[in-house]
Amino acid sequence: MVGKVALSLAFFVFFLGVFEAVAGIHNCNGSTFAGIELPDHLSFNAVSSSSSTGCRGSEPTRQAVLNEEEDERRDAPHKQTLKLHLKHNPLSKEKEPKKSVAEFTNKDLTRIQTLHTRIVEKKNQNTISRLNKEKEQSKKQIKSVVPPAAAPESSAGDLSGQLMATLGSGVTLGSGEYFMDVFVGTPPKHFSLILDTGSDLNWIQCVPCYDCFEQNGPHYDPKDSSSFRNISCHDRRCQLVSSPDPPRPCKAENQSCPYYYWYGDNSNTTGDFAIETFTVNLTTPSGKSEFRRVENVMFGCGHWNRGLFHGAAGLLGLGKGALSFSSQLQSLYGHSFSYCLVDRNSDTNVSSKLIFGEDKDLLSHPNLNFTSFVVGKENLVDTFYYLQIKAIVVGGEVLNIPEETWNLSPEGAGGTIIDSGTTLSYFAEPAYEIIKEAFVKKVRGYPLLEDFPILSPCYNVSGVEKIELPEFEIHFADGAVWNFPVENYFIPLEPEGIVCLAIMGTSRSSLSIIGNYQQQNFHIWYDIKKSRLGYAPMKCADV
């Protein structure tokens, strides 16, 4: 049943469409990242103390670095659990529903365009990937030359318990993103970062800020923190980020590692790659709150930053890549994280949750289902979480959508991803048209609104106390089924008394996306170790 609470649809855009720039081979004197122009006044900070290993011998490929990081983490203890609170702020009631719909769908479409760009770039990298595979033998030489990179550490030892922080809605800032409170540096200072599972790099706007967007509060100043350390361009961790183009020659022993991240919609960040201490609020099993420090977290100190980041200080990535916050915490909390987003009608004081590590309550849930991530294909984009759809069911009817519609092509087009950064669900043509026609055929008793812009179909349900609409299910190739409650795929527009299907179509690269609107009141578990997605219906306010 669709709730009667007035909604401002600007809230539905939970995360800005941001994606990791091209992941290529970067060495001290060159880069595969082409076509990017940097400001003429580009100048990077020098490291405060040299940790140079020297750029001698064969340079490590990005995959070699990732493989070695995985070897270091494999045997680490994973008993800890990190739990973050995602605060749900009051919704704005000022914007008209139709205007809000236009805004969040435009942002979604920009994000989809960025996805398409990433796919094309991934295709162009295939030649490089083949060359990397031919150099597998060089890995042993690399390991003998380059020492291991430091992994994040906790200064408090055992972190058993749950780590809690707040993540607030950006509605009051004219945005629908979730902001997570992060404490950075020594002494720790508070910053609000946008949370995004569709990107990897963590970054903050830094002093000196030569070209930055407006944010709430002061910029991060490395000089104010005794734990800040720039990563040298000689350090093998520098291979994990894309270099600016043209690249800066790596000469001086104390020369910092420059990075460039491009998000496809004219949003970008450029600065120094560094490590810092992040302070988190740990809630122990006894309920006691304690602050703990997590050291050696890799992040970008951005001096040139552009984009619609709506007052945030930067971004915290949860993608699959090695630089994401979730990947860096694997050595402490294991190879999994989960989140549970409260529904839009919940009390504004109720928090959504983000949890690093295994959650015992979720694992024991009787309705916990799993579907496998698509792995092992050459054209997968490293950052994204791919799923394999087999069929769509509307009102108990399996729709006549050819299975090949859902397949990933040899060129990297198509396929389906789950993404917390896209609001609605988007299905490739002609699948969307078939889904839409199925709802039009099966919905009875409510006037169809023919002239409503953007979303379709829309119905006038004014005065109806109990709204009855067809069921919607996604069937996966491995047999898993995801059943959605009606409030997860129909958007109510109050006070107009209108409901619209929260699904749209896209022909751009034929990519399909399960967005965050369909994920509300499900505990979503990203089990990286077993390459699977878990999902369980749950009242997220109680997690």
Q: Where are the domains of the chain?
A: 163-333, 361-537
Which parts of the chain have pLDDT scores under 50? 1-62, 65-66, 69-70, 72-78, 88-93, 125-149, 156-161, 164-176
- pLDDT for the residue numbered 416: 93
Active site residues: 196, 419
- Closest to 373 measured CA to CA, from 508, 478, 523, 473: 478
**What is the identity of the amino acid at 223?**
K
Contact present, 412 and 123 (Cβ < 8 Å): yes
Specify the CATH class of 361-537 in words.
Answer: mainly beta
Q: What was the pLDDT predicted at 348?
A: 66
**Backbone dihedral region for residue 165 (phi beyond 0: left; psi -120 to 50: alpha; all else: beta):** beta
What is the architecture, at CATH level 2, of domain 163-333? Beta Barrel (2.40)
pTM of structure: 0.74
The per-residue pLDDT for 114 is 60
| Domains 163-333 and 361-537 in one fold | yes
- pLDDT, residue 102, reads 65
pLDDT at 350: 72
Nearest to 413 by CA among 446, 439, 456, 380: 380
pLDDT score of 260: 92
Q: Which amino acid belongs to residue 160?
A: S
User: CA 263 to CA 284: how far, in whole Å?
Assistant: 38
Torsion angle, CA of 362/515/20/32, rounded to 10 degrees?
120
pLDDT at site 29: 34
**In the prediction, which pLDDT does 397 show?**
97
Burial of 92 (0-12, 13-18, 19+ CB in 10 A): middle
| pLDDT for position 511 | 85
Alpha-carbon gap, residue 265 to 262, rounded angstroms = 8
pLDDT at 419: 86
What is the chain's alpha carbon radius of gyration, rounded to the nearest angstrom?
Answer: 23
